């Protein structure tokens, strides 16, 4: 999660909402990413999507069954869909997102019959650090 927080800080430095993600397989970081929607003019360029795309390219396979995705903020609906499509085995996120979190906060897609893959979910790891980074970012914007 510390590596994901570093990615989030990089996003903030680029004027992006500070969210970072890393994909870990076999105890090693396979890929990482941070929000790039503003920089790339791409609404799908969330940290999770960036990291999953890079991991798929590195593995030569979009299925990441044995991987864990660490992300600094509870994934949204779009990112949850990508996690399902990637067949991630485990998701660990830091801060809960009461406005747009799709795995227990604003919505809970983890038990949706429409999704054909289940994965382990652990939330709250280093949540305070992630939340503080988000609060500093949005306070500076106001």
Helix axes 47-59, 2-13, angle to 10 degrees: 120
> 67 and 93 in contact (C-beta within 8 Å)?
no
Rounded Cα gap, residues 115 and 51, in angstroms:
21
> 117 and 67 in contact (C-beta within 8 Å)?
no
89-125 in b/e form (b: 16+ CB < 10 A) is bebbbbbbbeeebbbeeeeebbeeeeeeeebebebeb
Catalytic residue positions, numbered: 48
- Give the tokens for residue 38: 């503003």
């Amino acid at each position: 999660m510390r590596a994901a927080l570093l990615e989030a800080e990089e996003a903030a430095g680029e004027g992006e909402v500070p969210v970072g993600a890393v994909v870990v397989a076999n105890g090693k970081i396979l890929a990482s990413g941070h929000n790039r929607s503003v920089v790339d003019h791409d609404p799908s360029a969330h940290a999770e999507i960036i990291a999953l795309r890079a991991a798929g390219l590195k593995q030569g396979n979009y299925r990441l069954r044995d991987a864990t995705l660490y992300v600094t903020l509870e994934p949204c609906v779009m990112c949850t869909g990508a996690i399902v499509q990637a067949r991630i085995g485990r998701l660990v996120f830091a801060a809960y997102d009461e406005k747009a979190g799709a795995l227990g906060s604003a919505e809970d897609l983890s038990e949706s019959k429409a999704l054909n893959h289940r994965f382990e979910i652990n939330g709250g790891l280093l949540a305070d650090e992630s939340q503080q980074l988000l609060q500093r970012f949005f306070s500076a914007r106001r």
